[in-house]
Amino acid sequence: MKKHISTIIAILVFITGLSLLLYPTVSNYWNSKHQTAVVANYTDTLAKMDDKDKQAAIDAAAAYNETLLSNAGRFTPGDSELSLYKSLLNADGTGMMGYITIPEIHCKLAIYHSVDDSVLQVGVGHLEGSSLPVGGSSTHCVISGHRGLPSARLFTDIDRLEKGDLFYLHVYGKVLAYEVDKISVVEPEDYGPLEIEEGKDLCTLLTCTPYGINTQRLMVRGHRVVDSLYDESNITSDAARVDTLVVASCVGIVLLLVGIIVSKIWRLKRHEKNNS
Residue 97 has pLDDT above 60, yes or no: yes
pLDDT, tens digit, 9 for 90 and up, residues 210-236 = 987 889 999 999 999 997 667 666 665
Name which of 14-23, 99-108, 165-174 the model is least confident about: 14-23
Read off the DSSP letter of residue 259.
Answer: H
Looking at every residue in the chain, the average pLDDT score rounds to 83
Of all residues in the chain, the percent with pLDDT exceeding 70 is 68
Mean pLDDT of 156-182: 95
**Per-residue b/e over 216-237, b at no fewer than 16 CB within 10 Å?**
ebbbbbbebeeeeeeeeeebbb
* pLDDT the model gives residue 275: 67
- Cβ distance 203 to 211 under 8 Å? no
* pLDDT the model gives residue 7: 66
Residue 252 has pLDDT above 90, yes or no: no
- pTM to 2 decimals? 0.74
Name which of 37-41, 96-100, 246-250 the model is least confident about: 246-250
Q: Helix crossing, 244-275 with 2-47: angle to 10°?
A: 140
Cis amide bond preceding 133, omega within 30:
no
Mean pLDDT of 245-256: 59
Mean pLDDT of 151-162: 85
- Cβ distance 152 to 181 under 8 Å? no
Q: How confident is the model at residue 242 (pLDDT cuts 50, 70, 90)?
A: very low
CA nearest neighbour of 75 among 192, 209, 220: 192
Name which of 109-118, 121-130, 223-232 the model is least confident about: 223-232
150 versus 87: which is more confidently predicted?
87
d(CA 115, CA 82): 12
